[in-house]
């Protein structure tokens, strides 16, 4: 378990002091994939570097498996860090080394016998799907392949924790998807507790169990992905979860309704039933849903008719059926002000 208690971090510069983190309290449970999301400059990367003491907090405590990092001697801290792997957006591979030798690097530092180290490195390359690239150099690899090498290297010391700092930000959507699937498989098969730092809600939605939202050096909300996704309470969360709604602000007409799909049967024609039951046409302004094992996850924004009686019919229908929705009263800033979970 990772526990962060009242973590603050202040940097001193020529222009004065800058506070990157302010009084952060978080707990990451064993075995979960925990996401930390926020806009650029929110303090995400500083926070993840405090977890393994690459950045020493100005105040507060980092406790890993019951051990407070600030109280450890240098040798004890180095030993504990072996339980924490880390991957970065920029891959950080050694260009003069082959793929195999990049993965071997931490094993060499640990003093593992050469034959055992090579065997271990090849097992890891097989795990990340790069057995055929062991003699290649980083310059000969795609971005996704480089990140797979970085993941294999991070797993070389058999860590209990894996920290991912914007690990997919430099990758295209298809490659991002494959890397996220790999991280999820590592979490499930190896039991590696994972912390994912990102500014992309799609990353959180794809693999995380819980998420913390950061804004201006503080954590604004923490919850399961479903909780934060369906009812974002902070302005930052709303901006990250609902960026496309900005496109609908200029649309004239009736009130807007946001429907949340968080596991309902994907075989139920929700919108069709709504229109047929109410006898009211609805304008679909935005939709992003996906089917997972026969269940629908995502959201849809509908525009109600100008007629108040017709709009009231739609709201009454929603209140009487299993559906989660929120009324968007004049823009994204009011998301969640009238959220209603029924059923």
pLDDT bin (cut points 50, 70, 90) of residue 56 is very high
Which of 187, 203, 235 is the last residue before a domain boundary? 235
| 120 in the same domain as 39 | yes
Q: What is the pLDDT of residues 157-208, one digit of tens each?
A: 999 999 999 999 888 989 999 999 999 999 999 999 999 999 888 888 889 9
Whether the per-residue pLDDT at 338 is higher than 60: the answer is no
| 20 in the same domain as 38 | yes
Q: Which residues contact 14 (CB under 8 A, 6 or more apart)?
A: none
Q: In angstroms, how far is the first alpha carbon of the chain from the final one?
A: 35
Mean pLDDT across the stretch 261-273?
Answer: 75
Task: Kindly report the average pLDDT of the chain as a whole number.
Answer: 86
Q: Classify residue 248 by its DSSP letter.
A: G
| 142 in the same domain as 45 | yes
Burial of 85 (0-12, 13-18, 19+ CB in 10 A): buried
% of the chain exceeding 70 in pLDDT? 88
Burial of 189 (0-12, 13-18, 19+ CB in 10 A): exposed
Distance CA 323, CA 317 (A): 9
Are the C-beta atoms of residues 147 and 171 closer than 8 Å to each other?
yes
Q: What is the pTM of this model?
A: 0.79
Domain ranges, residue 294: 242-341
| 115 in the same domain as 33 | yes
pLDDT the model gives residue 340:
42
pLDDT the model gives residue 310:
87
- The number of beta carbons lying within 10 Å of the beta carbon of residue 307 is 11
| 323 in the same domain as 203 | no
Are the C-beta atoms of residues 22 and 218 closer than 8 Å to each other?
yes
CATH number of the domain within which 51 lies = 3.40.50.300
Q: What angle do CA 331, 299, 211 make, to 5 degrees?
A: 90
% of the chain exceeding 90 in pLDDT? 52
| 255 in the same domain as 206 | no
Which of 235, 265, 299 is the last residue before a domain boundary? 235
pLDDT the model gives residue 336:
36
| 45 in the same domain as 186 | yes
Which of 235, 260, 280 is the last residue before a domain boundary? 235
pLDDT the model gives residue 339:
42
Q: What is the pLDDT of residues 31-44, one digit of tens each?
A: 999 999 998 889 99
| 268 in the same domain as 184 | no
Q: What is the pLDDT of residues 61-71, one digit of tens each?
A: 999 999 999 99
Mean pLDDT across the stretch 314-318?
Answer: 86
| 325 in the same domain as 203 | no
CATH number of the domain within which 298 lies = 3.30.70.260
| 66 in the same domain as 12 | yes
| 171 in the same domain as 90 | yes
| 137 in the same domain as 118 | yes
Mean pLDDT across the stretch 44-54?
Answer: 93
pLDDT the model gives residue 244:
53
In the chain, the number of structural domains is 2
């Amino acid at each position: 378990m990772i526990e962060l208690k009242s973590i603050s971090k202040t940097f001193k510069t020529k222009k004065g002091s800058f506070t990157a983190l302010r009084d952060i309290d978080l707990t990451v449970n064993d075995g979960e994939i925990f996401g930390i999301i926020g806009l650029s400059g929110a303090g995400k990367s500083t926070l993840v570097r405090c977890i393994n003491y690459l950045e020493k907090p100005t105040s507060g405590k980092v406790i890993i498996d019951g051990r407070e990092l600030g109280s450890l001697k240098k040798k004890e801290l180095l030993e504990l860090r072996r339980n924490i792997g880390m991957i970065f957006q920029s891959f950080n591979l050694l260009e003069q080394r082959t793929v195999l030798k990049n993965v071997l690097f931490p094993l060499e530092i640990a003093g593992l016998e050469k034959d055992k180290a090579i065997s271990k490195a090849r097992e890891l390359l097989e795990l990340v799907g790069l057995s055929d690239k062991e003699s290649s150099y980083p310059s000969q690899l795609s971005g996704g392949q480089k990140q797979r090498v970085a993941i294999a290297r991070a797993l070389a010391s058999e860590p209990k924790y894996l920290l991912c700092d914007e690990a997919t930000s430099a990758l295209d959507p298809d490659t991002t998807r494959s890397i996220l699937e790999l991280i999820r498989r590592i979490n499930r098969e190896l039991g590696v507790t994972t912390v994912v730092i990102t500014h992309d809600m799609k990353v959180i939605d794809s693999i995380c169990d819980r998420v913390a939202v950061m804004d201006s050096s503080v954590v604004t909300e923490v919850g399961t992905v479903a909780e934060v996704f369906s009812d974002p309470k902070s302005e930052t969360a709303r901006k990250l979860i609902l960026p496309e709604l900005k496109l609908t602000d200029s649309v004239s007409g009736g009130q807007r309704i946001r429907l949340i799909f968080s596991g309902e049967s994907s075989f139920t024609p929700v919108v069709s039933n709504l229109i047929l039951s109410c006898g009211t046409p609805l304008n679909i302004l935005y939709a992003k849903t996906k089917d997972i094992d026969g269940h629908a996850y995502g959201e849809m924004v509908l525009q109600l008719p100008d007629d108040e009686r017709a709009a009231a019919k739609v709201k009454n229908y929603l209140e009487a059926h299993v559906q989660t929705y929120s009324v968007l009263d004049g823009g994204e800033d009011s998301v969640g002000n009238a959220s209603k979970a029924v059923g």
